[in-house]
Structure 1
Amino acid sequence: MEAMAQPKYKGKRYRLDKPELLAPAGNLEKLKFAVHYGADAVYIGGQKYGLRSNADNFTFEEMKEGVEFAAKYGAKVFVATNIYAHNEDIEGIEEYLRSLQDAGIAAIIAADPAIIEVAKRAAPKLEVHLSTQQSTLNWQAVKFWKDEGLPRVVLGRETSLEEIAAIKEHVDIEIEAFIHGAMCSSFSGRCVLSNHFTDRDSNRGGCCQSCRWKYDLFEDGREDAASWVSEEDRLMQQAAPAPAPFKPGVTQIPLFQPQDNPFTMGSKDLCMLEHIPDLIEVGIDSFKIEGRMKSIHYVATVVNVYRQAIDSYMADPENYVLKPEWIEEINKAANRPLNTGFFYDTPDHEDHIYEPEEKAVPYDFAGLVMEYDEKTGMAVIQQRNHFKPGDEIEFFGPDGTFFKQVVGRIEDENGQALDAARHPLQLVRMKVDQPVRFFDMMRKRKN
């Protein structure tokens, strides 16, 4: 994947202390990887009131364990309670919020004013951060929420750098913004496609990702169509399911041939790695990565790269240089083509995906380093995906570990040679070419 173009923000700039790097954590294991690989804070979902009902999500006991783990690294844990509640959703919310407070959660991310007000009253130790679901885009709206007592606003993804600068100029409040991950093809917090097509409420955690579906397109039917419709199109129409609403006697013209790719409405993913100076200097307080449903490999890779870029800039802003290897790493975790969202301009047709997505080079999370013996160069690897002698692999970690090698002999815990590591979470021993550390990851190119 080629590097993206380099637009430059020319508006007013603010210099900040190091911004927070906020990472997604779909379950307890992902939380630990996110923190270990450099996140200053993580956001998770509980069993209720969040928008990712299909994620593993956390029990209160898991939250407590996650908070304790994060605290060892000086990191915080936030919980998404960002549904738009119906009457039946409100029952039990006070008890739920108090339980979050008791678990040591630092803040909730909320959109519904009812949940916000209940939290302020019932769990005052919880900070309340305004969710991106509120589509907050201007400084007067931000000021409204500051006046309501909120210390942080998560801006809508449609906010530009110039608009963020105006917000920082007018309102003294923490600004959180998405800087990497999936974009919604609808307006932030306003999509009802899922509700309409599947009766799954996107604003109560049930989004079915309608914009990523493959669609057929039909030209509006015309009464006189029969005189100019080709025989091929007529046969295709008869074979295809009728679009709704279908008018009897009116020819519906399919716009796709059988060999054509179906239409989707999916947006390219956001990536602002190449624009770290602009993000910092415009005044964004928290850099948010999307992806509670993403893999451990995705979370660790993306967090690790942004951690390096942020730290490098803050160490020497005047001589900061974007490293090509950071872009290569991001591409190894990318699910879709990348762009800069709304930060510099309004996305157009080139920023959407109309054909089957061209995946970046896909890698599997193959193993996790559990132990390393400096004298022998042997590592104990916990298997996460099938690998075998002869496979080319990569090791990477949060402390700068990165090297490639070919897998040699692998053996079980009793020293018996194995033809492959094929069992989930199996512990195997193998010689590594360079030193590794606990929690370094091993990956391999798929296929």
Structure 2
Amino acid sequence: MKKPELLAPAGDFEKLKTAIHYGADAVYLGDSRFSLRGKAGNFSEDEMREAIRYARERGVRVYVTVNIFPHNRDLPDVLNHLEFLDDVRPDAVILSDPGLFALLSERAPAIDVHISTQANVTNARAAKFWERLGARRVVLSRELSIEEIREIRKETTLELEVFVHGSICLSYSGRCYISSFLASRSANRGECTNSCRWNYVLMEEKRQGEYFPVYEDDRGTYVLSSKDLCMIHHLGILADAGIESFKIEGRMKGINYVAGVVKAYREAIDAIGGPVDSVVEKRWMRELAMFSSRGFTTGMFFGRQADVDYNFDEESYRMSHELIGVVLEVKGEDAKISLKNRLDTGDHVEFLSPGLEERSFAVEGMRSDDSEHIDSARNEGIIFMKVPEGVRKRDIIRRARNFPALKSQGSGG
């Protein structure tokens, strides 16, 4: 069996480099004007050109999102962007609007088209429709079961892609108007405020100002908030059903998330078809719990999403570790590190490096960029310190949050 592609989010250039470093086969990114993640860092045209060059030199594919639902006033800028894409030649463009499909076919016919999940492809006839138009791939709706995916696979030669990890939108295939109504920011134009994650209470029409909890939590409830999708234990089943690409949600997430998810799913994909190591599988879940999530669900792949997969009356986000920094250079035992958080001598840190997972190292000393010994350093600074063997350039450093310091496994400084 050919191993499915691991497709990672690249909300900005740093996240793109992180995704590639930890093993992504492909990345998806966009210009904020035409992408459904308008609040991500995104890419200017010059940055996109450089990103495509950077990825291609490393054998990684780049898919550009142009998946807004455009109005007439958007079309002149869209046309200019399509002409730019025809020049830089990404591996594919992800879109959902039929008009944009026609424009891309006219202005940049050499670029492959991937049909976005926003197009709501839930049946074989819809897949064959896009196939006849010349699409290369379809990102299937999140509302499909594995059995339905098998049926679609039998009827089309299109490449099939599914989301396997990340946030789940409560609206049908992401077509949401809650943000527009409550905050005048359209999710369908990349400006979603995640209104479904807000705290909600019940108020009776004639009792203004009297608030009642929907459930037992008097602080409110995340009544519309689903747990995050996590299919890391079921990738073999999806591959057997005919999926060619496993997609990770998260262009607005930080590099801590990108690094951890891509690393875990890279290992899981590479393990498809081989013996299952339960110890490693448990480590994957611990690694996925290190950064912010809402808990995990398998979504609708195995049928209707269970009621327990919604965060009715608990805190929405949880995480066990926080990002400390990124390794910029390694020379022998010394590393140059870009800090993303405060770090003090005596802190225990973990390196997201192969073979060092879940090992804690004590920071015994740091130096500033002018070689002065320091005991404390704040975020956005550059420091130098000793690191264990096996740490690589671009590896990230984490620290446990709200937990007792782990017993040191060796010196990290």
Question: TM-score, normalization: structure 1?
Answer: 0.85
**Is the alpha carbon distance of 1:139 and 1:368 closer, same or farther for their aligned partners in structure 2, counting shifts above 3 Å?**
same
Deviation sequence 1:119-145 (CA, Å, 0-9, x none): 011011221110100111111111111
Given the alignment, which residue of 341, 344, 347 partners 1:388?
344
Deviation (angstroms), 1:427: 2.4
For residue 218 of structure 1, give the secondary structure of its aligned residue in structure 2: coil
Q: Does 1:167 align with 2:164?
A: no
Counterpart Cα distance in 2 of 1:269 and 1:118: 35
Q: Does 1:434 align with 2:386?
A: no
* Counterpart position of 1:325: 283
Q: Does 1:300 align with 2:259?
A: yes
Deviation sequence 1:222-250 (CA, Å, 0-9, x none): xxxxxxxxxxxxxxx46448xxxxxxxxx
Report if the CA contact (8 A) 2:290-2:322 is conserved: no
Counterpart Cα distance in 2 of 1:259 and 1:211: 17
For residue 280 of structure 1, give the secondary structure of its aligned residue in structure 2: helix
* Counterpart position of 2:376: 420
Counterpart Cα distance in 1 of 2:379 and 2:262: 28
Deviation (angstroms), 1:434: 3.1
Counterpart Cα distance in 1 of 2:66 and 2:100: 8
Give the paired residue count: 398
Report if the CA contact (8 A) 1:217-1:263 is conserved: no
Deviation sequence 1:206-227 (CA, Å, 0-9, x none): 2221211111113576xxxxxx
* Counterpart position of 2:408: none
Report if the CA contact (8 A) 2:204-2:210 is conserved: no
* Counterpart position of 1:10: none
- Shift >4 Å, 4+ stretches: 255-259
Deviation (angstroms), 1:189: 3.5
How do 1:32-431 residues align onto structure 2 when only pairs under 5 Å count? Answer: 32-219=17-204, 237=207, 239-240=209-210, 254-255=212-213, 260-264=218-222, 265-313=224-272, 317-322=273-278, 323=280, 324-357=282-315, 359-374=317-332, 377-397=333-353, 399-402=354-357, 403-424=359-380, 426-431=381-386
Q: Does 1:29 align with 2:32?
A: no
Counterpart Cα distance in 2 of 1:153 and 1:257: 39
Unaligned stretches of 5+ residues in structure 1: 1-15, 222-236, 242-253
* Counterpart position of 1:17: 2
Counterpart Cα distance in 1 of 2:215 and 2:140: 41
For residue 118 of structure 1, give the secondary structure of its aligned residue in structure 2: helix
Q: Percent of aligned pairs with the same residue?
A: 40
Which letter does structure 2 place at the counterpart of 1:59?
A: S
Unaligned stretches of 5+ residues in structure 2: 403-413
Report if the CA contact (8 A) 1:134-1:189 is conserved: no
Counterpart Cα distance in 1 of 2:132 and 2:2: 24
Counterpart Cα distance in 2 of 1:427 and 1:96: 37
Which letter does structure 1 place at the counterpart of 2:232?
A: L
Question: TM-score, normalization: structure 2?
Answer: 0.91
Which letter does structure 2 place at the counterpart of 1:146?
A: E
Deviation (angstroms), 1:190: 2.5
Deviates more, 1:385-394 or 1:350-359: 350-359
Deviation (angstroms), 1:79: 1.1
Report if the CA contact (8 A) 1:42-1:78 is conserved: yes
Report if the CA contact (8 A) 1:380-1:428 is conserved: yes
For residue 287 of structure 1, give the secondary structure of its aligned residue in structure 2: strand
Counterpart Cα distance in 1 of 2:309 and 2:181: 25
**Is the alpha carbon distance of 1:393 and 1:130 closer, same or farther for their aligned partners in structure 2, counting shifts above 3 Å?**
same
Counterpart Cα distance in 1 of 2:10 and 2:215: 42
Deviation (angstroms), 1:258: 10
* Counterpart position of 1:234: none
For residue 74 of structure 1, give the secondary structure of its aligned residue in structure 2: coil
Counterpart Cα distance in 2 of 1:361 and 1:163: 34
Report if the CA contact (8 A) 1:60-1:103 is conserved: no
For residue 343 of structure 2, give the secondary structure of its aligned residue in structure 1: coil
Deviation (angstroms), 1:370: 2.4
Report if the CA contact (8 A) 2:79-2:103 is conserved: yes
Report if the CA contact (8 A) 1:107-1:127 is conserved: yes
Larger Rg: 1
Deviation (angstroms), 1:371: 2.7
For residue 185 of structure 2, give the secondary structure of its aligned residue in structure 1: coil
* Counterpart position of 2:411: none
**Is the alpha carbon distance of 1:390 and 1:109 closer, same or farther for their aligned partners in structure 2, counting shifts above 3 Å?**
same
Quote the RMSD (CA, aligned, Å). 1.9
Deviation (angstroms), 1:82: 0.6
Report if the CA contact (8 A) 1:64-1:104 is conserved: no
